[in-house]
Structure 1
Amino acid sequence: MAEYEDKVRDELVLWQRKIVKRSSLFNRMSKTTQTKMNSLIPEKVHNVVTESIKNMAKATLAGSNVTTKKEAFMEVNLYEQDKRVKQKLTTYRKTAVVEGAGTGAGGILLGLADFPLLLSIKMKFLFEAATIYGFDTNKYEERLFILHVFQLAFSSDEKRKETFETIKHWENKKRELLDMDWRVFQQEYRDHIDLVKMFQLIPGVGAVVGAYANYNLLDQLGETAMNAYRLRLLGN
């Protein structure tokens, strides 16, 4: 077990370097363009979208907490926890792929339905992961941590580094947090997935793009969740 934990610590070092690494030029240019576009949108529209995403995320959090089995994994070692989370990720990734292909093949209307469906799949996976690693999702602070893991997975360079520091020093930082900055939360998430999801609406290629995009988005979330919880369990 000690040997496995040493291996995980080495992986955490590499992951932390990846987190603080500057994103590609294409991604930075996309973010700049999306920021400019956001500045042209009326404030009332931003408020409506923010409130919608906030309500959608909170409803998903509540639903996921109810449907997640509260099994006790506190006595299980990290190797078994990681193994189980990887198994869960495989299941949720398959679900996301099927959902992405289905909504992508359905054109614009079903493509728009992909947003809340995929959000629900992602949140459900995070609740499963938290439970497997032994954290009580009935606690508000753990649901807040889940939202920060989500934000860490899907945000720009600056926000990703800031969120990582919050997660890295969670025991101290959580005392300062009352709620998420929902405006930032929804803009970072939308900016992260908007470009690829736009291609999902194109007839003929939408199914392939949807399946591929959802596969990679779940992979990204899985890696982030595993390492965020590993960091909490093993310390910095």
Structure 2
Amino acid sequence: MKNVESNSIYHRLVATELLEWRAAMRRKPSFWNRTTKKVQKKVNGIIPEKVHRAITKAIKEITRAVIFGSGFTTRTRKDVKTIEEVEIKVKERINFYSSSAAVEGAATGFGGFLLSLADFPLWLTLKMKLLFEIASRYGYDTKDYKERLYILYIFQLTFSSQQRRNEVFEKMENWELIKEQLPDDLNTFDWRTFQLEYRDYIDLAKLLQLIPGVGAIAGALVNHKLTNKLGKVAMNAYRMRDQRFKETRLLGSNKTQKYIS
């Protein structure tokens, strides 16, 4: 079955997509990326340390509650014959959660500033649920602590600067080796970098959600686009661990921009 699938049109298409995605994840930060990051660092430097600590703690606790909550377990994937069958289901879930996130973003954006504050935990919950379902569809046990950490790495890979993306991707490429070295204490996770990268990535887009009159539209569009992007990153992150694609290597493709925007 493996040989048959490796010769299928869909398998070859996925292998090509994975190759290009690897190139995008390894791409060095552009001048614009570096400039934007410097500006963001200056802005973060102006914010009082106690504010950073408070935000870091809030994000840490919310994320921990979401990703390590007892309710975040998924059923074991049923045996399937091909990668195409798996990804048909995965794409259905991505569409479902992207649409749900759009509705949630529109509702909170329509409600003004105070209601928009509720968007963070609600949208985060939807994104994490999506990642759990995708992991399960690809056959990974989300009850496993290390698999839940991998989900956090996927999240970082999606919502980070290109420089940070390079660092995270290097670890994910060598996950089978890296996961054995990871501590069992979640408090050792770099929550500060996690929250700073996430905030910097989504701040500008989410600010539009606070503007009266356009908040609902902005909330819907941003939530849909970024949730969809998260799903696509997750697909490639799990493809990369699939034995059927272990032979896929970076060949220097220049067709990378669509994975980074």
Structure 2 length as normaliser, TM-score?
A: 0.84
1-structure distance, mates of 2:221, 2:234:
20
2-structure distance, mates of 1:144, 1:61:
9
Residue in 1 that maps onto 2:239: 230
The number of equivalent residue pairs is 235
Q: Does 1:124 align with 2:124?
A: no
2-structure distance, mates of 1:49, 1:134:
34
Q: Which stretch of structure 1 is more off in the superposition, 99-108 or 43-52?
A: 43-52
Q: Deviations over 1:39-74 (max 9, x none)?
A: 1222222222111111100111133x6254313335
2-structure distance, mates of 1:115, 1:140:
24
Higher relative contact order (CA 8 A, sep 6+): 2
Residue in 2 that maps onto 1:85: 90
Q: Which amino acid aligns with 2:167?
A: E
Q: Which amino acid aligns with 1:79?
A: E
C-alpha spacing 1:27/1:115, structure 2 compared with 1 (3 Å): farther
Q: Which amino acid aligns with 2:149?
A: L
Structure 1 length as normaliser, TM-score?
A: 0.93
2-structure distance, mates of 1:190, 1:26:
18
Q: Does 1:209 align with 2:215?
A: no
Deviation at 1:27, TM superposition (A): 5.2
1-structure distance, mates of 2:56, 2:86:
35
2-structure distance, mates of 1:38, 1:129:
33
Which residues of structure 2 form unaligned runs of 5+?
Answer: 249-261
Structure 1 residues 10-159: aligned runs within 5 Å: 10-22=16-28, 28-63=34-69, 66-159=71-164
Which residues of structure 1 form unaligned runs of 5+?
Answer: none
C-alpha spacing 1:82/1:16, structure 2 compared with 1 (3 Å): same
C-alpha spacing 1:24/1:208, structure 2 compared with 1 (3 Å): farther
Identical pairs, percent: 47
Relative to total residues, which structure has the larger helix share, 1 or 2?
1
Deviation at 1:19, TM superposition (A): 1.9
2-structure distance, mates of 1:39, 1:139:
37
1-structure distance, mates of 2:21, 2:167:
15
Q: Which amino acid aligns with 1:127?
A: F
Q: Deviations over 1:22-46 (max 9, x none)?
A: 5666555443222111112222222
Q: Which stretch of structure 1 is more off in the superposition, 89-98 or 2-11?
A: 2-11
| Larger Cα-atom Rg | 2
Deviation at 1:5, TM superposition (A): 2.5
Q: Quick check: 2:110–2:212 contact (8 Å CA) kept in 1? A: yes
